[in-house]
Amino acid sequence: MAVILRFRKLCFQEPSPSSCNEHKRQVTKRDGEKMKENCGSEEDGLRRKGVKEWRCVDSCCWMIGLMCTAWWLLLFLHHCMLASLPGAEPPGARLGRQGVAALHPVVLVPGIVTGGLELWEGRPCSDGLFRQRLWAGSFAEIFKRPMCWLEHLSLDNETGLDPAGIRVRASSGLVAADYFAPGYFVWANLIENLARIGYEEKNMHMAAYDWRLSFQNTELRDQTLSRLKSKIELMYVSNGYKKVVVVPHSMGANYFLHFMKWVEAAGGGGRGWCAKHIKSIMNIGPVFLGVPKSVSSILSAESKDVAFLRAMAPGLLDSEIFRLQALEHVMRVSRTWDSLVSLLPKGGEAVWGNLDWSPEEDHVCDWGTRKYQPQLKAKGNETDGRHSFQVQEPAKFGRIVSFSKTVSSPDATTSSKSNASCGKVKTEYDEVSQETIWKISEERAYSADTLLDLLRSVAPKMMKRAEAHFSHGIADNLSDPKYNHYKYWSNPLETELPEAPDMEIYSLYGVGIPTERSYVYKLSPPGKCRSIPLQIDSSADGSQNGCLKGGVYFVDGDESVPVLSAGFMCAKGWKGKTRFNPSGSATYIREYKHIAPANLLHGRGLESGAHVDIMGNVALIEDVLRVAAGASGVELGGDRIYSDIMKLSEKIKIHL
Amino acid sequence: MSLLRRRRRGGQDEPERAADAEERKPEHRRAEKKWSCLDNCCWFIGCVCVTWWVLLFLYNLMPSSFPQYVTEAITGPLPDPPGLKLRKEGLTAKHPVVFVPGIVTAGLELWEGHQCAQGLFRKRLWGGTFGSVYKRPLCWEEHMSLDNETGLDPPGVRVRPVTGLVAADYFAPGYIVWAVLIENLAQIGYEEKTMYMASYDWRLSFQNTEVRDQSLSRIKSNIELMVSTNGGNKAVIIPHSMGVLYFLHFMKWVEAPAPMGGDGGPDWCAKHIKAVMNIGGPLLGVPKAVSGLFSAEAKDIAVARAIAPGVLDQDLFHIQTLQHLMRMTRTWDSTMSMIPKGGDTIWGDLDSSPEDDYIPSKRRQNATYEAKDGSSEPEPKQKRKRRHYGRIISFGKDIAEAESSEIDRVNFQGAVKGRNVANTTCVDVWTEYHEMGFGGIKAVVEYKAYTAGDLVDLLSFVAPKMMARGSAHFSYGIADDLDDPKYLHYKYWSNPLETRLPNAPDMEIFSMYGVGIPTERAYVYTEAPWAECNIPFRIDTSAGDEEEDV
């Protein structure tokens, strides 16, 4: 390093004096004054050149150095600040002082996507990645070897299990899903607060599973359900015969439903296992009835964000320059994941609405002014006015997928499917004929029922595989022996809850964030290497009170899961004694109003209601802690509802 | 940005000034110098960063097989790792595998701590990078210590073992413990459902891991689960180092009836365990444990002291590393599980020991031997001094070598412990030696030589609290009559000389260990020069043999 510095000094200082001296020697006979001037100007000229040289590279270095130093300084200050700033007291510490202490063992069930996956056996291209995280963590491998990464994350398209020669397994332990990426917490906050009232690893368990597989396959391949059962039994016994509190998040709620049925039917637990071992289930942002988001991701690997991006920069995603074809790759990989199918809307038209009707139809979409209770009362007239206006033209949420009217008839000749130059990225769309796509778009609109047919025609293999594992209907007669099959276990509308009258079921979710509910699609413009023929019509901006934005209809929810899906079962489907809840387990709804973080210092917010950020919501953490310490739902204060979930549920007429 | 602009303006001013005559030149130079002070720094940092990034980038671009390629080019083709080789021979995963890590190698993480440990929640205190040792050493020591009375957590501190395979795959970055074994097992098809790291808090006594963490119950439940989910194939247990004793304890525990044991019934081991493959198991203890407890030293530290006599004892910076270390380790009950067991019968008495005929440099002699002519010429009869390995601790080299009749031992146990000689200046680093006083130390030295049998007495004299705790959990004798009902107590379970193996005729027990490395066996101690805060005993590093086998 010292050498570099010296070298630089040499470059910088040496040339001018020496060259001036040479000059001097040459012009000794001239007038002294003139010589001096001459030399002076010469020197300056050279110096200027020297300065220019130092500018070129050195300026860069200088800049970078400055930035690095500034960064370090700021980082240092930040650390000092964090240590000295008192900050808000974490709820765990406060409750700990109030005498709330660990009582019931806690089981955390992560949802889709948030759990880590690591490599146990791979192709040669994955050299050196043994037991490294492929999913979650730093995601460094995506950039280093994207194709290899995609190959290892895919499952077999026929079986839905490992492809030959590849073993990717879920990480285990609390680290599996505490942070998704560095600094992006998932369960970490909750874990830390639980620890503050006395929890540790002997009474807290992360039920990590491979979230790509269908639920039954996790047992088949990894015996995950057996392990969970054994773990719960162990914790029950070793913590003085205290029942466990289960905290599933997102898809974990469905997974745990499946587990409860499995353990009583196939897992050897027998009837009464749940009643004996489970105190309460605190579902955080559950997707009991599925999410519309899953539809768009299966159809075209898009979601709100992608559609938005496309609206902002129309050319970017479709550019063929770098042959990125990111969406195609994403689609190809994600279509091998059976678990996605478990998230499709369940309950059909009775729940999600048909072409003309939907439970949310008089939903107020004006997100800017939409405020709950107090404001509504204060300016009642105004809202009433708006309300009546909407009744005249309600948003058609029931049409989960509709095609925009301005379908330009695609030229069948130019958009021939098989393209030799970009045959690399094959999606299932390559096997779907152009006519089918045509017919699909002719149909104009799809409700939750017809949607499944649509998906079956565009993703035949995936649906065939996954429909052996999941079902999306409503049972007419639950005592029909066919419902003993495992494919019904994760659908709350086709199973009975276990016989556990003392078990409590909570639904904890955020409200107040626009959430995707249905989509406007169009045929994608024919492109050379594009093989996804459908895309969200991001130009479709509705006048319908802002419900339609960028080709997506929004309703109330937690940004991913609509209120309907998260709340309906606890609000109506299981409330009291119904045929889905024969033993009358108590259900509670706890909603958390979304309040965006006030400034950057708050990070992702202490009162956020967003699907994942809610795990840092102070009120939610407090509720979980209290229940884990022995409180019942009544002691928490029973239901706490901000959204119009009750009204929605009223409108859904299903036989209970 | 404003800085940059200012700098640029400085540059642009230059030509204007240059047009003027020389009288402005010095001023101009000065201006240049003014910002070169700070800018040079920035420039330098920038340079370093850029080169660093470039190198990092190049390193990342390098194909991952490159290092292997280089080593192959230098040393010739590498043999396949055993896992790969055996897979080609058709080996696949069958029996579930359980690893039992030993002392020190497994990670510990913080779950609850004092104010000073803020931000370390669920970070490793032991294992990993040991970053907190340097940042806040006293805080670290405080959290790693256990309660001196109970041998459990001190109030307000919860340090717990890391779970999962990560608990002991690497001790520190790049320092392998189980990682290579795991990788090779994975190559023949193992994964986490068939492999289990039975991590436990290695600071606690074995029974206390069950009392506090239910570690034994967890191991039992996991083995049962793995056996049942793997088609009834029995488990293969691989304990390492102290894990061997721990698993011995586990096997007794699991069969013992409920309140004290795991209630698995008398044939639990027969039903669930195929083999126990002990790696380097200190079944009868290790002499190293003695020196660790006695003076917090081991061979390495003694060597360090010989090389740089002053460093370790400096009072200058109030480092007192060894004292801190000793205070901390003496709260760890588990170290006592490795005190030599079996007494004089096994480890030898003052005059004889099983290893008496051992010639330390034998291997070297053999090598030279064959080089000479390869004939079977008998080894030249060296007149060797008899080594008395049985004297695990002796004070002074002459005592170590003297005949037993020459040693005049004065019993120390009756000695009156002196008043607290601890100077107030070093009260913060408290060791039990301070309570022992001067008289006690003299008495210990007067006894001169200690055999394995005396050791326990010695240790309970110098460290009464620790041994009081420890003797409730461990025992070091040999059972005369194993049917004696007292042997049902858990303190005998980890001593192979005081327990029966479980009734499992099909179970195999392997003992796998390395040989050929000089290993500590007995120590020559000296009384430390009296300093205020010192540990009064230390290994006498001046006592080197000509063969350097001490």
Q: Which of B2, B42, B92, B222 to mutate to test the interface with A (most CBs of A within 10 A)?
A: B42
Q: Is residue A142 part of a domain?
A: no
Strand, helix or coil for residue A538: coil
Contacts of B213 in chain A (CB under 8 A): 202
Nearest to B49 among A55, A65, A191 (CB): A65
Which residues of chain A have a pLDDT value below 70? 1-55, 82-87, 303-325, 364-395, 405-428, 430-431, 526-531, 542-546, 599-603
* Contact residues, B window 32-51, toward A, CB-based 8 Å cutoff: 39-50
User: In this predicted structure, what is the pLDDT of residue B220?
Assistant: 94
- Check B183 against A238: CB less than 8 A apart: no
Q: Nearest C-alpha of chain B: how many angstroms from A538?
A: 39
Cβ–Cβ contacts within 10 Å for residue A385, how many?
11
Q: Using CA atoms, how far apart are residues A495 and A473, in angstroms rounded to an integer? A: 11
**CATH number, domain at A236?**
3.40.50.1820
Residues contacting B494, CB < 8 A, separation 6+: B206, B245, B246, B248, B249, B337, B474
**B393 pLDDT exceeds 90?**
no
Q: Out of B47, B164, B193, whose CB is closest to A223?
A: B193
Determine whether B35 is exposed, middle or buried from the number of CB atoms within 10 Å of its CB (0-12, 13-18, 19+). middle
| B191 to A169: CB separation less than 8 angstroms, yes or no | yes
CA distance A199 to A177: 17
- C-alpha distance from A202 to closest chain B C-alpha (Å): 6
Distance from C-alpha of A138 to C-alpha of A117, rounded to nearest angstrom: 12
Residue A145 lies in a domain: no
User: Where does B62-149 have alpha helices with state H?
Assistant: 66-75, 82-88, 131-135, 137-144
In a domain, A97, yes or no: yes
CA distances for B512 relative to B56, B185, B283, angstroms: 42, 18, 12
Q: What pLDDT, on a 0 to 100 scale, did the predictor assign at position A16?
A: 43
Question: Shortest CB distance from A238 goes to which of B160, B183, B217?
Answer: B217
Q: Would you call B187 an interface residue with chain A, using a CB distance cutoff of 8 Å?
A: yes
For an interface test with A, give the residue of B1, B29, B45, B177 to mutate (most A CBs within 10 A). B45
Residue A37: list chain B partners with CB under 8 A.
21
- CA B92 to chain A, closest CA, distance in angstroms equals 14
Contact residues, chain A, for B42 at CB < 8 Å: 61-62, 65-66, 69
CB A449 within 8 A of CB A355: no
pLDDT tens for B471-481 read 888 888 888 88
**Using CB atoms, which residue from B49, B193, B228 is nearest to A68?**
B49
Other CB atoms closer than 10 Å to residue B261's CB: what's the count? Answer: 18
Nearest Cβ partner for A230 among B60, B121, B221: B221
Among A118, A524, A145, A102, residue whose Cα is nearest residue A320: A524
Q: Is B4–A234 a contact, with Cβ atoms under 8 angstroms apart?
A: no
A582 and A629 inside one domain? yes
The CB density around residue B147, as the number of other CB atoms within 10 Å, is 13
Asked if B329 has any chain A CB less than 8 Å from its own CB, the reply is: no
Clarify whether residues A597 and A530 are in a common domain.
Answer: no
**A104/A194 same-domain check:** yes
Residues A362 and A453 in one domain: yes
Task: From chain B, pick out residues whose CB is under 8 angstroms from the CB of A144.
Answer: 60
In-domain check, residue A397: yes
End-to-end CA distance of chain B: 67
Range of the domain at A436: 293-344+348-413+425-471+513-557
Q: Give the gap in angstroms from C-alpha A8 to the nearest C-alpha of chain B.
A: 10
| Contact check, Cβ <8 Å, B186/A121 | yes
What mean pLDDT do residues B79-102 have?
88
Contacts of A140 (CB under 8 A, 6+ apart): none
Q: Which residues of B touch A65 (CB under 8 A)?
A: 41-47, 49
A422: closest CA of chain B, how far (Å): 26
The model's pTM: 0.82
Same domain, A240 and A300: no
φ/ψ bin of A168: left (φ > 0), alpha (ψ from -120 to 50), beta (otherwise): beta
- Same domain (yes/no): A534, A549: yes
Q: Kindly report, residue by residue over B433-466, the tens digit of the pLDDT.
A: 666 666 677 777 777 778 877 888 888 887 888 8
Strand A278-284 and strand A204-206: pairing?
Answer: unpaired
Of the candidates B21, B45, B111, which has its C-beta nearest A69's C-beta? Answer: B45
- Note whether A584 and A620 are same-domain residues: yes
Tell whether A3 is covered by a domain. Answer: no
- Residue A324 and residue A401 in one domain: yes
Q: How far is A630 from chain B (nearest CA, A)?
A: 21
User: What pLDDT is stored for residue A236 in this prediction?
Assistant: 94
In chain B, % of residues over pLDDT 90 = 17
Same domain, A271 and A204: yes
Looking at A539, A557, A575, which one is the last position of a domain? A557
Question: Are residues A256 and A303 both part of a single domain?
Answer: no
Q: Quote the minimal CA–CA distance from B167 to chain A in Å.
A: 11
Query: Residues B126-151: what's their mean pLDDT?
Result: 83
Is A250 part of a structural domain of the chain?
yes
The residue whose two tokens read 């006048």 is A543
Indicate whether A58 belongs to any domain. Answer: no
> Which residue of chain A is at minimal alpha-carbon distance from B119?
A83
Chain B hits for A130, Cβ within 8 Å: 183, 186
Residue A585 located in a structural domain: yes
Query: What's the pLDDT score for residue A426?
Result: 59
Let me know: does A259 contact A209? Beta carbons within 8 Å: no
Q: Kindly state the average pLDDT of the residues B341-364.
A: 70
Output the average pLDDT for chain B.
Answer: 76
Question: Which residues does chain A have within 8 Å of residue B218's beta carbon, measured at their own beta carbons?
Answer: 202, 234, 238
Q: Which of A172, A195, A237 sits opposite B192 (nearest CB)?
A: A172
CA distance B205 to B404: 36
Task: Mark yes or no for CB contact B218/A202 under 8 Å.
Answer: yes
- Chain B residue whose CA is closest to A7: B44
What pLDDT digit, counting tens, does each position of B170-213 carry? 888 878 889 999 999 998 989 888 999 999 999 999 999 999 99
**pLDDT given for residue A466 in this prediction:** 87
Distance CA A390, CA A387 (A): 5
DSSP string, A190-217: HHHHHHHTT--TTSEEE----TTS-HHH
Q: Are residues A300 and A394 in the same domain?
A: yes
In chain A, the number of structural domains is: 2
Active site residues of A: 250, 558, 611
For residues A529 and A461, state if they share a domain: yes
In chain B, the percentage of residues whose pLDDT exceeds 70 is 69
Per-residue confidence (pLDDT) for residue B529, from 0 to 100 = 59
Query: Lowest mean pLDDT: which of A322-326, B56-60, B147-151, B242-246?
Result: A322-326
| pLDDT tens digits for range B1-24 | 444 444 444 444 444 444 444 444
